[in-house]
Chain A
Amino acid sequence: MLARWVRSELERNGYRVLMTRDGDQDPSFDDRSAIANAHRAAIFLSLHVGSTGVPGTVRTYVYPTVQEDATQDESLSGDEQAGRGLVEWDRAQQPFVEQSRKLGDLLQTEFSQRFAHSPELCMAYPIRDLRSVAAPAAAIEISSVAAPDEGMFAQMGPSLAAGIARAVAAFQPSGEPGTIR
């Protein structure tokens, strides 16, 4: 439901949105990454509903820098490395860590203004479905399934979608393709 709101809002703003699933399917992490990795200038957003945390808050996570990075040429940007075919699948996110951080902070700034008690900046934490994405990527978690009010998500949906659309526009104003799951 939340993903459909986000999709609708992004499309209204001129972005092409590909969903990695549209029902009860459960594609693997790599299948999801493959969809994003097949498109240039994509953004990967992963939406989650958590089981803990203060109900009504939203958090954005990006993948952290992995220290033991001997296989990548750090002098090249993510796009340059991808263009030269240097991206190792399991570490595909590494060249994009800085861009992801920028995207994550833009998203979290929007959320902190819209949803009380949400953090002000994104968190760097190793979230599996971001690791093999060769594009700016962020995971967004809404708290929580334990919310006492079942209508909470319906109330949050439009504002969440608007916040994501604003952050994406600030990050990538050209209206390039995006991917959400």
Chain B
Amino acid sequence: MTRKTSAGLIIGLVVAVLAGIVYFQVLHQRVLGWGESAASEEQAREEVVAPPIITQTDALTAAQFFWISPSDADKLEAVTLHLPLSADPELRSRQLIRELISSAPSPQQAPLPADTELLAFYMLPDGTGVADFSDSLASETPSGILSEEMAVDSIVRTLSANVQSLRRLKILIHGQAAETLAGHVDLTGFFEVPPQYPTAASH
């Protein structure tokens, strides 16, 4: 191999390496771009599937939400958020439950699975609220008495603290009466919703 040929080969290799580096950076940027695009698509999908509930009577309110305490994994702790809430108890309950599911301070503090959807909420004249949740509530709540108890109590106590006319709550799963939440807590009855800050749910 002549010196001229060797020099040409080395230059060719250097050019190939430089081209590879440039191409790698372009690919890297594209991958990052796809990730951002996927995230924004997911965000857009959620906005279509579960659009924010906005009513004419919305007023900025200091609302209490009950999530798992960061310092005590077997207790719920009140967190105050300021957000617009409807004066209508049915719509207000929907707004509260949606927020309870989606705005937990951290995944470890969420008593309800993130994929849970509130399919419907309606109130009867006697103060009975009926909350219909997607299957995720039953299939993704960790099985166990304490975890199921905290899931139900987070809903009951959040509604109790913020919805005056609600007296008791019935929980449905995908439109059907369910025997249990995830194998332990009995959903066949009603959960009493005391006017303020209950110490324990009754059935």
Interface residues, chain A, with chain B CB atoms under 8 Å away: 29, 48-54, 57, 59, 61, 63-67, 90, 123-129, 131, 139, 141, 143-144
Given A48-B184, A54-B74, A66-B189: A124 touches B145 (CB 8 Å cut-off): no
Contact partner of B186 (CB less than 8 A), chosen from A51, A54, A127, is A127
Interface residues, chain B, with chain A CB atoms under 8 Å away: 72-74, 142-147, 149-150, 179-180, 183-186, 188-189, 192, 200-203
Q: Chain B residues near A126: list those with CB within 8 A.
A: 185-186, 189, 203
Q: Chain A residues near B183: list those with CB within 8 A.
A: 128
Given A48-B184, A127-B186: A141 touches B146 (CB 8 Å cut-off): yes
Contact partner of B185 (CB less than 8 A), chosen from A53, A59, A127, A143, is A127
Given A51-B144, A52-B74, A52-B147: A64 touches B185 (CB 8 Å cut-off): no
Q: Are A54 and B73 in contact (CB under 8 A)?
A: yes
Contact partner of B150 (CB less than 8 A), chosen from A52, A61, A64, is A52
Q: Chain B residues near A50: list those with CB within 8 A.
A: 144-147
Q: Chain A residues near B202: list those with CB within 8 A.
A: 64-65, 67, 124
Give bound CA distance, A29 to B180, whole Å: 11
Q: Are A52 and B73 in contact (CB under 8 A)?
A: yes
Known A59-B145, A125-B185, A127-B185; further 7 A-B contacts with Cβ < 8 A? A50-B144, A52-B144, A53-B74, A61-B145, A63-B203, A65-B202, A126-B189
Smallest Cβ-Cβ distance to B68: which chain A residue: A52
**Nearest Cβ on chain B to A131's Cβ, whole angstroms:** 6
The 8 closest A-B pairs by CB, nearest first: A50-B144, A126-B203, A126-B186, A51-B142, A128-B186, A52-B147, A53-B74, A51-B144
